[in-house]
Amino acid sequence: MAAVDALSFDPWDPAFVSDPYPAYAELRERGRVIYYEPTDQWLVPRHADVSALLRERRLGRTYQHRFTHEDFGRTAPPAEQEPFHTLNDHGMLDLEPPDHTRIRRLVSKAFTPRTVERLKPYVRQLAGELVDRLVEAGGGDLLSDVAEPLPVAVIAEMLGIPDSDRAPLRPWSADICGMYELSPSKETAARAVRASVEFSEYLRELIAARRKEPGDDLISGLIAAHDEGDRLTEQEMISTAVLLLNAGHEATVNATVNGWWALFRNPEQLAALRADHTLVPSAVEELMRYDTPLQLFERWVLDDIEIDGTTVPRGAEIAMLFGSANHDPAVFAAPDRLDLTRAENPHISFSAGIHYCIGAPLARIELAASMTALLERAPTLALAAEPRRKPNFVIRGLEGLNVTL
């Protein structure tokens, strides 16, 4: 086991957040598992370990299917945060089998590669329209003009959220996602609680309306599954919808703008891509590896586990550093170089194991659609101003990305 000094890994230091990759290199050198006192977590920085631990059944996204908070040596979250935790804890991402298996099986029908493939024409058309508008305006903010509206519209459409109801989705999602950062503040928690209450209330009403008048959307599908076999409680339905709406756009928005910023910083790579649009699929993968949109995921240790001679005990928390795994030289040649032609690219950005991103095929279609539309319809797209990074570490993004033509 190695210890971390204050210099290398500091998620609250803007310099680290702006470029965490050198600190990761140091962590990977230090060892396979490193206790980090400020968050009381065990950091895992290497690709082989992250990949193996994501498939490890002695770890879990939750422990509540097996232990009470007390038995697990943890305290229950404060009572005032209950609406957030009720919402969060009933989504499949925070469940383990058998509940996870039951809900994932139902939802995955809507996300098979074949089903998602059918969305392609709609996604491409929407991406084209958004980029046309950006071009007509002579430029704008790539984040708010293209990166954000595309995945929000797609997932809202899939779930059957009417156009007129979509405005609060982004702020609700942003407020809830604040809780996924390390050690969120009381204000962050209060915002997440408010958003959880409002979002849940909205969906409860929408579910009631769809129950009376079903459509061919995913919410109507979940209601049918619920009514047929009572396989999904109403809370699970609400939590599933919120999870899909939030997970369905947050990372895609950030992957789009992180990706384009990386392209602007690597003009020879951008030029190669402009010269050969068949590089789009490998470019999407490489950009997700190069500047990983979700930097860290946690797991609880449900039964003692030994990593490299160190026993990490039951009740401990492991923080897997996805951004570090994606820059591990043991797996990626010249990992800090952006190489859009990289052929072997087993990046971990969509996770692995039972929680592997259910939306990965859709995310890939969305990212390719916006990239292709921008390459074809805005071939002279250029950075208008240096963007500012969001201060968040876990969900890595930009405040905006101003572009010109």
Tokens of 252: 């895609």
- Of 86-115, binders to ligand HEM (CB under 6 A) are 92-93, 104
**Nearest alpha carbon to residue 152 among 141, 140, 165, 139:** 165
- Considering only 60, 349, 398, 403, the residue that binds ligand HEM (CB under 6 A) is 349
- Of 290-329, binders to ligand HEM (CB under 6 A) are 293-294, 297
Q: Given the complex with ligand HEM, which of 158 and 331 has the nearer CB atom?
A: 158
The interface region with ligand HEM, picked from 246-254, 268-276, 325-333, 338-346 by CB under 6 A, is 246-254
Total Cβ atoms within 10 A of residue 212: 6
For residues 263 and 319, the answer to whether their CB atoms sit within 8 Å is: no
- Separation of alpha carbons 354 and 352, rounded Å: 7
Residue 223 found at the interface with ligand HEM (CB under 6 A):
no
Q: Given the complex with ligand HEM, which of 135 and 397 has the nearer CB atom?
A: 397
**Nearest alpha carbon to residue 293 among 264, 323, 317:** 323
- Of 38-67, binders to ligand HEM (CB under 6 A) are 61
Residue 248 found at the interface with ligand HEM (CB under 6 A):
yes
The interface region with ligand HEM, picked from 27-35, 192-200, 307-315, 348-356 by CB under 6 A, is 348-356
Residue 358 found at the interface with ligand HEM (CB under 6 A):
yes
The interface region with ligand HEM, picked from 64-72, 141-149, 250-258, 310-318 by CB under 6 A, is 250-258
User: Could you tell me how many residues of this chain bind ligand HEM (CB under 6 A)?
Assistant: 24
Residue 155 found at the interface with ligand HEM (CB under 6 A):
yes
**Nearest alpha carbon to residue 150 among 318, 378, 373:** 373
- Separation of alpha carbons 259 and 293, rounded Å: 9
- The least distance separating ligand HEM from the CB of residue 92, rounded to whole angstroms, comes to 4
Tokens of 339: 């190489």
- Separation of alpha carbons 115 and 29, rounded Å: 43
Total Cβ atoms within 10 A of residue 391: 12
- The least distance separating ligand HEM from the CB of residue 122, rounded to whole angstroms, comes to 14
Q: What is the DSSP string of 287-355?
A: HHHHT-SB-EEEEEESS-EEETTEEEPTT-EEEEEHHHHTT-TTTSSSTTS--TT-S-----TT--GGG
Q: Given the complex with ligand HEM, which of 99 and 129 has the nearer CB atom?
A: 99
- Separation of alpha carbons 158 and 166, rounded Å: 13
Q: Given the complex with ligand HEM, which of 262 and 363 has the nearer CB atom?
A: 363
Instruction: Give bridge partners of residue 389 from the DSSP assignment.
Output: 398
The interface region with ligand HEM, picked from 17-25, 179-187, 239-247, 394-402 by CB under 6 A, is 239-247
- The least distance separating ligand HEM from the CB of residue 3, rounded to whole angstroms, comes to 26
- Separation of alpha carbons 283 and 285, rounded Å: 5
- The least distance separating ligand HEM from the CB of residue 83, rounded to whole angstroms, comes to 20
Q: Given the complex with ligand HEM, which of 8 and 51 has the nearer CB atom?
A: 51
For residues 89 and 64, the answer to whether their CB atoms sit within 8 Å is: yes
- The least distance separating ligand HEM from the CB of residue 390, rounded to whole angstroms, comes to 15
Residues near ligand HEM (CB under 6 A): 61, 92-93, 104, 155, 243-244, 247-248, 251-252, 255, 293-294, 297, 349-351, 355, 357-359, 362-363
